[in-house]
A and B are shown apart, each in its own frame.
Chain A
Amino acid sequence: MFVELSESMSFTANFKAQAITKEVRARDIPGIIEVAPSNASYLLHFDPEVVHPDTLIDRLRDIEAGIDLTAYTWEARVLDVPVLYDDPWTRETLMQFRERHQDPEATDLEYSARINGFSGPEEFIEAHAGAPHMVTMVGFVPGLPWTFQMVPRDQQIEVPKYVQPRTETPSRAVGFGGAFTAIYSVPGAGGYQLFGRTPVEVLDVDQQLPAFADSMVLPNPGDIINFRRVDREEYDRIRDAVEANDYEYNIGHIDFEPEEFFEHPSEYTDRITEVLD
């Protein structure tokens, strides 16, 4: 069963999807097999021999009617995600696929900066790393987070996907499509504009890194990611630690209050990034 709460992306639609799916899980409805919130919608997999779809629709209407976002809060994890913007690996990949791009003469960063009205990649990177992003969906492949930047709508970056998807993307690439930043958890095909690469993993199948003790996937919907610009030296240092399985992720916590965020977005996101200090 697929429930589309809104055709356009907004934090209101996403928080509602998160709140409803959290309540579906809490009610432990017999017959429910999968509960998957997404950006502005959610997906349930159920056994129709246990619960008839009409019964389930009634229960979901009931749950949705009881959701009050002004009272909905959660303990959000704040994850520090270092990024080497304009890194050599994604640059090599994107140069191989210029004929599939809207602007074969520019890099993905140059193109994205220009169509969003920035003077160039430097100013664009500052904006992308300048405010945190919320994880609004996990999927496509295991561990891949979609994140939506926590700024007012008029400051949101918007970039189309490639005209034709690439057949290759390096793992840990930081890409952008529509209004979402994604971190590619595994190498593979992809159509998002490539901005950089993070030295940290979001998927650890063997759960060797300490941050993955409970799950092979790090990001969850409702988590907040702070993309932090690093230089090559810091990238290499962190990467070495990750490969040695002794990297300690910098993770903070905040009791996230949507109302506070909606009313004072900039002050609120400053408080969020402070918990990482």
Chain B
Amino acid sequence: MLRIVEPGLSTTVQDTGRYGHYHIGMPPSGAVDQYAHRVANFLVGNEADAATLELTYTGPEVVFEEEGLVAVCGADMDPSLDGEPVPTWTAVRVAAGQTLSFEFATEGARAYLAVGGGVDTEPVMGSRATYTLIGVGGHEGRELEAGDELPTGATETDGLEGNSVDAAHVPDYGAETSIRVVMGLCDYRLTEDGKETLLDTEWTVSNEADRVGYRLDADVDIQGLFVEREQPFGAGTDLTNVVDLGYPVGSIQMAGQPIVLMRDAVTGGGYATVGTVISPDRSTLAQGRSHETVTFEPVSVEEALTAREDWTARLDRLREELLG
């Protein structure tokens, strides 16, 4: 069992997501950085879909009621165990009663704390992912608070202690962030110059960048990117409006500013969507901090499929190495 002493800024139970309910307006939720989440699980002997804790900017203070194996991947929050620094991207043995604590993230925005056996809260609709808007999944459907106690599962972790991944597999969150995008959806609403502006602009991650969406700022007149038209019936009067439609996770909607929808996405609405961030790069974007800059790089569907296969193959190899 894990006991939360201090909750941190925003700590939730997350996994690989809850699927099959998009049509009732339920987004998948789950870890927004699936790479760090999955590697953390493999390090402690779990499968990819075990639940971890997603820590945002400032991690929690956690007491382990039993001995076990833990790993912290993702943003660098300088974890320490009873005050002694512990390595990240490494499986670390904790003794019963020890306390894990974190500093403010120096690079990246989100870290994942995996425990051997996984965080074992009750699944809701097939997933332990927390979706706070309507309060489902995770621990009571909400961000963790001081005093919360979370059950952990049982697993064989003998021989895994000290396991770590090569530096080559540890992302550099401080690097320039280029995010690959498949243009499409309603991008016919943009002029050719408008598309170029979207792709050539250096966007700044705003203060409103969370699990629902990343709002991006720049000195760009969004209306000016759109093709003038008489609005079709039902769309609403603004040039950026369309007849309300479904928004894919990862899509860029042009609601006064570009908003990239993340895993707690609103599932539909009346703003034009103009492209979709490819799945591996959503993990990268999720580590983007407010005030950091990102640029978009257009790729074809085939290039996106190849990038996805490479990402999956890389994680499969890490799983093979770490879990055998």
Residues of A within 8 A of B (CB): 2, 4, 6-10, 33-43, 45, 48-49, 52-53, 137-144, 146, 148, 153, 156, 158, 160-161, 177-180, 185-186, 188, 203, 205, 215-217, 220-221
Report whether A141 and B133 are in contact in the complex, using a CB–CB cutoff of 8 Å: yes
Q: How many residues of B contact A (CB 8 A)?
A: 43
Once the chains are docked, how many angstroms separate the CA of A186 from the CA of B131? Answer: 13
Report whether A40 and B243 are in contact in the complex, using a CB–CB cutoff of 8 Å: yes
Report whether A35 and B245 are in contact in the complex, using a CB–CB cutoff of 8 Å: no
Report whether B134 and A4 are in contact in the complex, using a CB–CB cutoff of 8 Å: no
Contacts of B248 in A (CB 8 A): 2, 43, 45
Report whether A49 and B309 are in contact in the complex, using a CB–CB cutoff of 8 Å: yes
Closest Cβ neighbor of B185 among chain A residues:
A2
The CB with the most chain A CB atoms within 10 A, among B241, B245, B247, B248, is that of B245
Contacts of A137 in B (CB 8 A): 244-246, 268
Once the chains are docked, how many angstroms separate the CA of A160 from the CA of B239? Answer: 12
Q: Would you list which residues of chain B between 211 and 234 have a CB under 8 Å from chain A?
A: 232-234
The dominant DSSP class at the A interface is: loop
Report whether A8 and B23 are in contact in the complex, using a CB–CB cutoff of 8 Å: no
B168 within 8 A of A: no
Once the chains are docked, how many angstroms separate the CA of A186 from the CA of B269? Answer: 15
B307 to chain A, nearest CB (A): 11
Closest 5 CB pairs of A and B: A9-B234, A43-B246, A8-B232, A179-B234, A139-B268
The CB with the most chain B CB atoms within 10 A, among A4, A52, A186, A221, is that of A4
Contacts of A34 in B (CB 8 A): 19-23
Report whether A138 and B25 are in contact in the complex, using a CB–CB cutoff of 8 Å: yes
Report whether B246 and A8 are in contact in the complex, using a CB–CB cutoff of 8 Å: no
Report whether B134 and A142 are in contact in the complex, using a CB–CB cutoff of 8 Å: yes
With A41-B246, A180-B244, A203-B134: A53-B301 Cβ-Cβ less than 8 Å: yes
Once the chains are docked, how many angstroms separate the CA of A42 from the CA of B267? Answer: 12
Query: Could you jot down 15 A-B contacts, CB within 8 Å?
Result: A8-B234, A39-B244, A42-B246, A43-B247, A45-B22, A53-B301, A137-B245, A137-B268, A138-B25, A139-B22, A140-B244, A142-B24, A143-B25, A153-B233, A178-B235
Once the chains are docked, how many angstroms separate the CA of A239 from the CA of B20? Answer: 31
Closest Cβ neighbor of A42 among chain B residues:
B246
Report whether B233 and A2 are in contact in the complex, using a CB–CB cutoff of 8 Å: no
Contact with A along B114-141 (1 / 0, CB 8 A): 0000000000000000000111100001
Once the chains are docked, how many angstroms separate the CA of A53 from the CA of B300? Answer: 12
Q: Would you list which residues of chain B between 184 and 207 have a CB under 8 Å from chain A?
A: 184-186
Report whether B244 and A146 are in contact in the complex, using a CB–CB cutoff of 8 Å: yes
Partner of A178, one of B19, B22, B26, B243: B243
B308 within 8 A of A: yes
Once the chains are docked, how many angstroms separate the CA of A48 from the CA of B301? Answer: 10
Once the chains are docked, how many angstroms separate the CA of A41 from the CA of B301? Answer: 21
Report whether A160 and B268 are in contact in the complex, using a CB–CB cutoff of 8 Å: no
Closest Cβ neighbor of B229 among chain A residues:
A7
Contacts of A160 in B (CB 8 A): 236-238
Contacts of B20 in A (CB 8 A): 33-34
B73 to chain A, nearest CB (A): 24
Report whether B233 and A4 are in contact in the complex, using a CB–CB cutoff of 8 Å: no
The dominant DSSP class at the B interface is: loop
Once the chains are docked, how many angstroms separate the CA of A244 from the CA of B2? Answer: 36
Once the chains are docked, how many angstroms separate the CA of A139 from the CA of B134? Answer: 13
Report whether B25 and A142 are in contact in the complex, using a CB–CB cutoff of 8 Å: yes
Report whether B19 and A33 are in contact in the complex, using a CB–CB cutoff of 8 Å: yes
A250 to chain B, nearest CB (A): 22
Closest Cβ neighbor of A2 among chain B residues:
B185
Report whether B186 and A217 are in contact in the complex, using a CB–CB cutoff of 8 Å: no
Contact with A along B242-276 (1 / 0, CB 8 A): 11111111000000000000000011111001000
14 more A-B contacts (CB under 8 A) besides A7-B242, A39-B234?
A2-B273, A4-B245, A34-B23, A39-B245, A41-B243, A139-B24, A142-B134, A158-B234, A161-B236, A178-B234, A178-B235, A178-B244, A186-B134, A205-B141
With A142-B26, A178-B270: A38-B233 Cβ-Cβ less than 8 Å: no
Contacts of A139 in B (CB 8 A): 22-25, 246, 266-268
B312 within 8 A of A: yes
Report whether B243 and A9 are in contact in the complex, using a CB–CB cutoff of 8 Å: yes
Closest Cβ neighbor of B242 among chain A residues:
A7
Once the chains are docked, how many angstroms separate the CA of A36 from the CA of B309? Answer: 25
A56 to chain B, nearest CB (A): 11
B95 within 8 A of A: no
Once the chains are docked, how many angstroms separate the CA of A221 from the CA of B25? Answer: 12
Q: Would you list which residues of chain B between 11 and 45 have a CB under 8 Å from chain A?
A: 19-26
Contacts of B24 in A (CB 8 A): 138-139, 142-143, 215-217, 220
A197 to chain B, nearest CB (A): 19
Closest Cβ neighbor of B212 among chain A residues:
A141
Contacts of A203 in B (CB 8 A): 134
Contacts of A146 in B (CB 8 A): 244
Once the chains are docked, how many angstroms separate the CA of A2 from the CA of B267? Answer: 13
Once the chains are docked, how many angstroms separate the CA of A186 from the CA of B132? Answer: 12
Report whether B245 and A40 are in contact in the complex, using a CB–CB cutoff of 8 Å: yes
Contacts of B22 in A (CB 8 A): 34, 36, 43, 45, 139
B305 within 8 A of A: yes
